[in-house]
Structure 1
């Protein structure tokens, strides 16, 4: 077990290293993410997002947030980046906008309805087809303007590209500042950071519930790894599993009724299922090696997991009811050392971390064809997590000795790096769509 743990960045090694290095530390002020975008595709959809009329009434710019969201998507090129506004009443001059190189036009305005309350109006036009695509009227408090802007960006994505945008989803991750840890929740762009938990002991492995209302994670606040389920709206949390030994790697079932977890209570680390209220613990694997990092398939029928039963760690799949039902099938064969399985929301792809000559690199596997490709050329990638639309993978990497978050498109063409100056950012998890 110890040899396996030393060689890879799975949750087993996270638990062992954390237990050897737990210390107290001091907190620092909240900081916002810096975002760097590289390698966007060559064929970008040109769109003009005009400055919303009377936006100066707002404490923040919804126009800038919409423009930034679309740029980060890797699909759009903003043709208007200045402060000129365009009326959201009537019909635009389609020929004029076409001559200016725009294939789509977004316009909007702001109306203050009462103290601290605003109505954000937006309309979208298809310049190529010379037609209106409709729009939205969103009532928002001053505190929720970012959410309103993200909702508009998602609407633009859906109307122009026919897929659901992910800008209204959220991220969870751990910020390490000095010797203190914070589990935080942020917007999908890493901004608007809110604390969920602050601790002098490590926090690892956050995992979103399917409805986006809860996060399960492992906390060392009791000087040992314990799994908690945290209700974000109220701050209420319950200890899901506090068995003898390591309690680690929580992963929700698609219906939110169960979690798969890894426990070492009977010796070597094995996989169990447990009800979301902490009852009904059931052992699913019964091997003599390490089985860890469980992940439910998109339909809930299977569990993917990491095991070194074949010598080096690889990804396997078993029935969600346990290995005894039909055994475990090995899934990865392309590399000799593989950990950290994550399944895309549509069930078509498996993201994982492979050890390539001592470099830990993010890969993606097409489960239907067996084709695998590296998404990065990194040396210290870890903790992959798919976006809710399956188009991007969020992960952690090292830059100048500190961990930062990065997101890469599943074709590898677009990459974003999100960093907080002076902080070490790790253990990311991308939340689901919110209804």
Structure 2
């Protein structure tokens, strides 16, 4: 195999473990919008989560907002009558969120929340949100999504999930690998799969109900599909040689994947209902890392058929092949935003491997990160943030950068490396 392919493969396998992920914003927009998220008043119940704090943290992590410190608040209003706009305006806030939480039927809770424009002294949005008392983070993330959309015009993605791969070294050469799923902020992690062998390339189905991934548990790489609700798993491919890089079609009926069963890594399409397997690339070069265009008519993939890794697009009905990347000698792991306009990738220059984005309308390429070992980009479903794996202090961590490069964050952990992030679609 070609040297670049082997190196990339080994980088993916060299994972070692993690503690809970915690997002730290390292850079925001030049002038984040000041907002006060007032502690919610609770009546008749004891809450196991601070909804207002979660909302404040969500908005602060986005980089678009600067939440007010609670210790500087002059009061804690929970109704419109208790709001004195002058006080909040003098405190430097453009917007404020207030709320009240009370018991509801069947053991649930109701959070009544209101968003105000402090400068114009008017209500922007209000809603009563009902949720389970054991899942108040879901209520909080929903509120964050609504506030974010009302004030930025972008659909919020705080209620989505991420999956990622970790491993813990027990003794030299002996690891415990885990496929983990967590909230988009890294909270509430849970284990989807645990194995003594490597796990690679997790990918979400478009409806968010299933994951496809590669596991070495049977001593060689095999592709599995797992139902998240039931945990039921199915091995879908296990040919001799490479079985890798599964990617769901937008309608969920097919998987694009990479097989070397004919001697060379090529892109295939598997129809899940029938098991039909169609080979769509035919070249002596290495073709890998497929991803679907949002319309399901094209597949993007990485190939070294021109000498070094670049990203190509293959129209499936016509089989027309188009090279998309030309700038730089190495571009790989292409992923498209949901509107199909922007292509994110791993781009190599003289200082290392970075996350870059290319506008497919203008072909302009912008390098978004300055770290040197960046890999595995995945895009939030609203197209605002790219999450990726990188190194910090000698350990693998997840990090994020906005599509325009102005917002940055890291998700450090205290117990080893984290790799292979995949951001969920909007969940039903």
Could you say whether these structures have the same fold, taking a TM-score greater than 0.5 normalized by the shorter chain as the test?
A: yes
Equivalenced residues, count: 420
Instruction: Work out whether 1:418 is the aligned partner of 2:411.
Output: yes
Partner of 1:176: 167
Q: Secondary structure at the match of 2:151?
A: helix
Partner of 1:208: 204
Q: Secondary structure at the match of 2:217?
A: coil
Q: Secondary structure at the match of 2:134?
A: helix
1:290 Cα deviation after fit: 0.6
1:89 Cα deviation after fit: 4.6
Q: Secondary structure at the match of 2:405?
A: coil
Unaligned runs of 5+ in 1: none
The more displaced of 40-49 and 200-209 is 40-49
Task: Show the 5 A alignment for 1:6-405.
Answer: 6-7=6-7, 9=8, 13-14=9-10, 18=13, 31-54=19-42, 57-82=46-71, 84-90=75-81, 92-113=83-104, 117-178=108-169, 179-277=175-273, 279-321=275-317, 325-357=318-350, 359-405=352-398
1:274 Cα deviation after fit: 0.8
Partner of 1:5: 5
Select the residue among 420, 424, 427 that pairs with 1:431: 424
1:289 Cα deviation after fit: 1.2
CA distance 1:91–1:298, shift in 2 (3 Å) = farther
1:278 Cα deviation after fit: 6.3
Does the 8 Å contact 2:397/2:410 carry over to 1? yes
Q: Secondary structure at the match of 2:135?
A: helix
User: Aligned equivalents of 1:143 and 1:276: distance in 2?
Assistant: 36
TM score, norm. by length of structure 1:
0.91
List 4+ stretches of structure 1 deviating above 3 A.
113-117
What value does the CA root-mean-square deviation take over the aligned residues?
A: 2.1
CA distance 1:403–1:116, shift in 2 (3 Å) = farther
User: Aligned equivalents of 2:331 and 2:372: distance in 1?
Assistant: 14
1:14 Cα deviation after fit: 4.5
Does the 8 Å contact 1:240/1:278 carry over to 2? no
1:50 Cα deviation after fit: 0.4
User: Aligned equivalents of 1:402 and 1:47: distance in 2?
Assistant: 34
Does the 8 Å contact 1:239/1:278 carry over to 2? no
Does the 8 Å contact 1:88/1:122 carry over to 2? no
Q: Secondary structure at the match of 1:148?
A: helix
Does the 8 Å contact 1:385/1:394 carry over to 2? yes
User: Aligned equivalents of 2:213 and 2:274: distance in 1?
Assistant: 14
User: Aligned equivalents of 2:6 and 2:238: distance in 1?
Assistant: 24
The more displaced of 268-277 and 53-62 is 53-62
1:226 Cα deviation after fit: 0.6
User: Aligned equivalents of 1:347 and 1:54: distance in 2?
Assistant: 44
Q: Deviations over 1:70-110 (max 9, x none)?
A: 00111111124237421225473333332322211110112
Does the 8 Å contact 2:22/2:185 carry over to 1? no
Q: Deviations over 1:394-435 (max 9, x none)?
A: 000011221100011111111111022112110000111123
Q: Deviations over 1:116-166 (max 9, x none)?
A: 632222111122332212322222223211111000000101112222100
The more displaced of 143-152 and 312-321 is 312-321
User: Aligned equivalents of 1:165 and 1:434: distance in 2?
Assistant: 12
